[in-house]
Structures are given as C-alpha cells and as structure tokens.
Structure 1
Amino acid sequence: MESKLFTPVTFGPLTLRNRTIRSAAFESMCPGNAPSDMLLDYHRSVAAGGIGMTTVAYAAVTRSGLSFDRQLWMRPEIIPGLRRLTDAIHAEGAAAGIQLGHCGNMSHKSICGCMPVGASSGFNLYSPTFVRGLRADELPEMARAYGRSVNLAREAGFDSVEIHAGHGYLISQFLSPSTNHRKDEFGGSLQNRMRFMDMVMEEVMKAAGSDMAVLVKMNMRDGFRGGMEPDETMQVARRLEQSGAHALVLSGGFVSRAPMYVMRGEMPIRSMTHYMTCWWLKYGVRMVGKWMIPSVPFKEAYFLEDALKFRAALKMPLVYVGGLVSRGKIDEVLDDGFEAVQMARALLNEPGFVNRMRAEENARCNCRHSNYCIARMYSVEMACHQHLKEELPPCLKREIERIEAKG
C-alpha cells in the first residue's frame, strides 16, 4: 500500500502539506509570558525539517490560566512577537498552530496573580495550593476568553488553534468526576459536566469563523481510578463532533495525578530537581517524587489501542498522538484511518525527522526515552540531553543512562 504520510490533509479551512504535526508539548521558552527568539528558532527548525504543521504550546487564555512563569499568555502586546514566529514558520512551508488553554487548579498565586481557580474548591496536593471553585456567573466570561484568544491567534498569523480539553487542565477538570464536585448545573451528570466545554466551544467556533481550523485535544482515559473512562469520553468526543470541531487529538492522563500516563516511561527525579530553584520544593520532590510520579512503561504508539475504538465510532478527522518514533509505525497508524499524527519528543531529538522519513522508509528517531527533556522543562527550556552545549553533572548522566538502559 502506498504511504499516506506525504499526502496533503485538510482540517476545516486548512490544508497541510503532509500528515505530520508537531504536538503542543510545552517548550518553556517564554520568559515574561511572551515569545522569545529561542521559541522562534525552535519552531522554525521543525518547520524547516519538513513538518506539516508545528503547534506552539500551551498559551493561557487569561493570566489566571498560567501554570508556569515561562509560558505564553495570550494578550495584545505579544502579537508582534507571535507574528514574527508565524512568519518564520510559514517561510519554511509549514502551517502554524497554537494550543489554547487554562491550567485551572495547577498554578500558584505568584504565577497566576490570584488564588488558583478550578471546577471545584479544595486543596491541590500536587501544586500544592488552595483552589477556589469558579462561580457559575464567572464561566461565561471565562469561555469568552477562549474566543478572544482565537481572535488574537488569527491576528498573530496562526492557521489553527488547538483547544486543550485534556490532561487535567480546566476544561478537563470540569469533565472529570475526580475534580468536579459541583452541586450546580455544571456538576453531577456527564451532561452537566460538559456544559462548560460546550460554552467554550460555542465561543471558539464563533471566533474561528471560516478561516481558522479548530482542533481539540481530549482524554480517552484520565489514567487513574475514579477518573474518566472511555464510556464517558466517547460521549465527550461525540459532543465535540457536534460542536463543529474540525479534528480531535486523542490523548490521556492527568498532569497532576498521572503525568507518566500522558508521557510514558520514568520521570528522572534527580534531573528534575537539579534545575529547581525553590529549595523546599527541590528536596520535597527528591524525597517523594517516585511516589508522586510513578512510572508507566513506554511502548511505541501507546495510545493506539484506545484510539482505534474512537476511530471506529467517529466519522470526524482524528489525529493520533503518543509514542511515535518510527516511519513504520506512523504508516501503520495512518493506514488504520487516522488523518494525521502528532509527535513531540521525536522532533525535539531531531527537528528534521520528517525530512529523514521522506528519504528513509525505515527511519527511526534517536530518542531513547529518558524523559530528561520533560524533567527540565518545569524550570528551564525543554531540551534533549543529546544536544546540550553544557556538560551534565555525573549524577544526571548516570540517571539518564540507567533509564535508557531499561528501554
């Protein structure tokens, strides 16, 4: 069968030159919550490497939605910098996407400027911080913030937006019974828990109009007992299909409760704490990190079994993400009926991987799944240890070697 990989694919008003998308993995390259030259250079390198579309991650729709101090915050004053970024991507022949979201309870007052807000009040052990549940009368304005961010994305030259409705962020916190304990019309039944998502999608689709593609990232499973399972998430997917979304990105996991269900493998705790500046957090994570971030074995295309069930049940375009590192497996996924594939770590390891796949039928990237790139992104920019200019301390080298030897 002839490979679909290098054939065009269309999502709503947008046609990509091939079926590859750089997924919206957090780069941690935005000091001051604004785009940097480092962010531009990285996405330009991926675009030059042959990608169909590269997705900038993950832009908060309000200041209260920031979870990191090196994360984008959508506001008018950063539009010129974003326009430079999208111009650079377009000059290399790729489309430019941006992921829009709100972190909900995954923040601190020092970052988001207020007590963190979420679907429900309580204490988030994984931040750790007290959280205020959003009032029902605040939700329409929060939904409008998503719509305004779509308009800002258009002004900045982006071709598409990806709405983050998974991984335990705000929309996901409303959807999941593990984080939504509300007693009003936004809690209880799944129909009620989808109301906030419905409000957001109404604003997003209205703002997107006829010239912006809209993708939505959602969970197929939350990845822990008491979270959402496919019987409910399939209903969420059908609702998003009805909303007019142009494609779904099928993912899973909660960054607070089950982060390695999202990313797979082991979190290198020593590498993670090495870059932390807060002394009590550094030593706290070093002591209990293995318990708080349990490992989940990595295998190539680790979400495929669940994703195939969604493919069988839905007519709309679906994008597969999760553990793609080889041309062979990507061809298999596309032959299974998915319209496109997303990758992140493979492209951090090798920005030109798509071009190499065009030249080599058996191409495989050299990512060895130590997750060092993820460990450092909470404090400094995301980077692959294989391409660092600085020398790593021996203790970090040993940790990376031990994890990679397992894989």
Structure 2
Amino acid sequence: MGNSKLFTPVTFGPLTLRNRTIRSAAFESMCPGNAPSDMLLDYHRSVAAGGIGMTTVAYAAVTRSGLSFDRQLWMRPEIIPGLRELTDAIHAEGAAAGIQLGHCGNMSHKSICGCTPVGASGGFNLYSPTFVRGLRADELPEMARAYGRSVNLAREAGFDAVEIHAGHGYLISQFLSPSTNHRKDEFGGSLQNRMRFMDMVMEEVMKAAGSDMAVLVKMNMRDGFRGGMEMDETMQVAKRLEQSGAHGLVLSGGFVSKAPMYVMRGEMPIRSMTHYMTCWWLKYGVRMAGKWMIPAVPFKEAYFLEDALKFRAELKMPLIYVGGLVSRSKIDEVLDDGFDAVQMARALLNEPGFVNRMRDEENARCNCRHSNYCIARMYSIEMACHQHLGEELPACLKREIERIEAKG
C-alpha cells in the first residue's frame, strides 16, 4: 500500500487533482428541459464527498442539434447559473469539476434536437427511425466553433476541465470512422481527410481553453464492429490529438449505435430497459429484437487494458484508463502500468464513497455485480443502481437481474 500511486496528486495541463480517480462521463439522464437539476447536483456532490479527484458531468451538447436524449444538457447561457451551483458544490467537497462536451451527430430525432439530425454522411438511422442529413463542408467551421463556445461557457460555469467526446460513434467519431463517413469531399476518404473535422474542433477548443482549462479527449481504440476503425488508424488519431495539445486522452471503444456493449460489457437487461420506455412501439420493438440489436459482450475487470497498454507504449502524453474497474487492486495495477489516472462510473453509482473506502482498505472492491440495470433505465429515466432503489422492482425485472448477475 505504501508505494501505491492512487492517492498522489496528478496534473493535466493547468489542473492538478488531489488523487488519480475521475468519475467518468456516464450519462446521468438527470437534466429535464436540457438544464441541470437538484438531482444532478446531489449526485455529483455525493461522488465528490466520496473522495473522487474529479467528477465529470456527462454529455453536454454543444448545439441543440447535438442532443440525443431529452434529459441531456445543452450548453447555452441560460443554464450557467445552475451549473455554477453544481461546480460550487463539487469544489466545496474538495474535488475538481469536469464536463463532457459533444454532439451526437446522426443519433437523434427531430422531436429531441428540433431539426433533421445531421451526421458526417446522410442516410437512415434505424434506432431513432429517422432520415439523417450529411453536414455540408461550409457548415463545419461553425460546428467546430460551437465546441469552442461551449468551452468558454464551461469556464464561466466554474468547471476546471472539459472532456471532448471523439468516440463511441458520436459526431467526431462519425467523421473518423470509415463505416459512417462516406464523404467524397476533403473530409472523407483517407484517414488524413477523416481527421480534418476533429482537427478543426481541437483548434477551436484549445484556443478557448487558453491557459486555465484542462482539455481531455475521449476516443476509441477500436470501434468494436466489422468495418469500423481498428488500432492501426486509432493510434494515428491518438498521435494527432497529442500534437494538438490535448492534456490527456481517455481510451475507450465501441459505438453506441452499432456495438453498445463493447463500450460497457456484459449483457443489456432488455426487460428492464423496455419497462421504463413510454413509446409503445419502441417498447415492443426492443423487447422483440433487443437481444439481436444489443448483443452481449462478456464483462471482465479492466476489459480495455490490453488495448490501452499498446497506446501507453506509443504515446508520451498523459493517458486515463476507463473500463470495468471495480477493485483497489486492479486500479493499483493499472496505475503501475503507467496510466496517469483512472475513470469509473458504474462503481461509483453503486458506491459513491468507494474512493474513500479504497483509502482505508487495501482489498476494497465495490459491490457492482454488472447487471447493467443502471444503463437500461438511463434511456428513459435517471440512472440508478438497483441495489439502492426506493421502490420495489417488479418480479420480472428482479428475475432478469438475478439471472444476469448469476452469469457474471
């Protein structure tokens, strides 16, 4: 325990954290009206009080067209006072506050984002069901500036860091991946061309971040399905982000639209997911086709580590490990492997005070049993762990959770 790096400070650009833990930007679904709520504040305060180095508020859309859920943040001046209360509460507990900024690209619907969804290329999105319009080249500089403006709003709201989402099949990722980018102009084709939009965004972001905001970028090491990006290309993306001056990379993988469980691992509890849905045809569609739409991928602790180590060997910049961390011993191992910090989400939903407990217990392990119930309900209502619900779950959901946990 004496030589563990876990409770030593770590620096990303202008920001130093009290320890090497970060609450990853897992979508909380706690922002009705696309604005922060008391529930969001209470949740992040509890994680900050639980000992985290930094807690990251999930997915704030940089424009209205970037919203993928109706309970998601949208960065605009009106919500700054509410976000300021949130960052003040986090800082009062001794933690830093980060916010993830992104645009969902084609993964939306007119009813949520107020327009025909836009992406790297046009087409049809089966999951929303909706037609998608490919962005014109002359619209891209303004889209990149929206990221920069959101960084400035984040600073105004008291955040210490931003995490730019360039993975998981969101807009930047849709430009990067050959499976979603079918453009014939200078933003499509070769990897150099596919990286152009990311370069534009990073230029605006670094300019806006100046000398007082830390900039992290979340990216894919693999897209997680055939025809997506593999490591030969993503390594070049990482090196480009290193050149762009980002202060740290969060190494993830998967595409929420094509390989969602590659991101989270385990099985999606379809029954639980559909239980909370209000749209009747979606409820039945997902219940019937869910197993096929969302194939299970086995969970194992630190499931991205093997891939992430290859990036550690090739890059000099700070790297943050995310993916399946639930125990102190594994976290120590990851930090000893040369990663600068670790991100967790499900572990802290299960136990907001997990970081404090790790300080006291060398063999601390959280009680998350990977049923993914928390993720299943997040699509409709706020993210929560089934072990801490006020209400009694219906028997059919209990059975489903027990079955999945018994497999784990």
- TM-score range with shorter-chain normalisation? over 0.9
Give, in angstroms, the shift of residue 126 of structure 1. 2.4
What is aligned with 2:94? 93
- 1:164-212 deviations in whole A, cap 9, x for unaligned? 0000000000000000000000000000000000000000000000000
* Structure-2 separation of matches of 1:361 and 1:126: 44
* Structure-1 separation of matches of 2:122 and 2:146: 21
* Structure-2 separation of matches of 1:261 and 1:215: 22
Give ranges in structure 2 of 5+ residues lacking alignment: none
Give, in angstroms, the shift of residue 129 of structure 1. 1.3
* Structure-2 separation of matches of 1:126 and 1:245: 33
* Structure-2 separation of matches of 1:279 and 1:217: 34
Give, in angstroms, the shift of residue 98 of structure 1. 0.1
* Structure-2 separation of matches of 1:49 and 1:353: 7
* Structure-2 separation of matches of 1:123 and 1:343: 33
* Structure-1 separation of matches of 2:354 and 2:156: 30
* Structure-1 separation of matches of 2:388 and 2:165: 29
* Structure-2 separation of matches of 1:84 and 1:349: 24
- 1:203-229 deviations in whole A, cap 9, x for unaligned? 000000000000000000000000000
- 1:216-260 deviations in whole A, cap 9, x for unaligned? 000000000000000000000000000000000000000000000
* Structure-2 separation of matches of 1:238 and 1:39: 35
Give, in angstroms, the shift of residue 39 of structure 1. 0.1
- 1:317-347 deviations in whole A, cap 9, x for unaligned? 0000000000000000000000000000000
* Structure-2 separation of matches of 1:126 and 1:219: 21
Give, in angstroms, the shift of residue 127 of structure 1. 2.3
SS at match of 1:395: helix
Give, in angstroms, the shift of residue 135 of structure 1. 0.2
Give RMSD over aligned pairs: 0.3
TM-score by length of 2: 0.99
SS at match of 1:294: coil
* Structure-2 separation of matches of 1:225 and 1:122: 19
Give, in angstroms, the shift of residue 298 of structure 1. 0.0
* Structure-1 separation of matches of 2:330 and 2:129: 39
SS at match of 1:201: helix
Query: Structure 2 matches for 1:236-385, cutoff 5 A?
Result: 236-385=237-386
SS at match of 1:211: coil
Query: Structure 2 matches for 1:27-176, cutoff 5 A?
Result: 27-176=28-177
* Structure-2 separation of matches of 1:50 and 1:351: 8
* Structure-2 separation of matches of 1:403 and 1:127: 27
Give, in angstroms, the shift of residue 125 of structure 1. 1.5
Give, in angstroms, the shift of residue 67 of structure 1. 0.1
- 1:282-312 deviations in whole A, cap 9, x for unaligned? 0000000000000000000000000000000
Give, in angstroms, the shift of residue 128 of structure 1. 2.0
Give ranges in structure 1 of 5+ residues lacking alignment: none
TM-score by length of 1: 1.00
Give, in angstroms, the shift of residue 124 of structure 1. 1.2
- 1:122-179 deviations in whole A, cap 9, x for unaligned? 0011222110000000000000000000000000000000000000000000000000
SS at match of 1:207: helix
- 1:8-56 deviations in whole A, cap 9, x for unaligned? 0000000000000000000000000000000000000000000000000
SS at match of 1:273: helix
* Structure-2 separation of matches of 1:48 and 1:60: 27
* Structure-2 separation of matches of 1:121 and 1:260: 25
What is aligned with 2:197? 196
SS at match of 1:15: strand
* Structure-2 separation of matches of 1:284 and 1:125: 12
SS at match of 2:70: coil
SS at match of 1:399: helix
Q: How many residues align?
A: 406
* Structure-2 separation of matches of 1:392 and 1:113: 35
SS at match of 1:57: strand
SS at match of 1:50: coil
* Structure-1 separation of matches of 2:305 and 2:365: 18
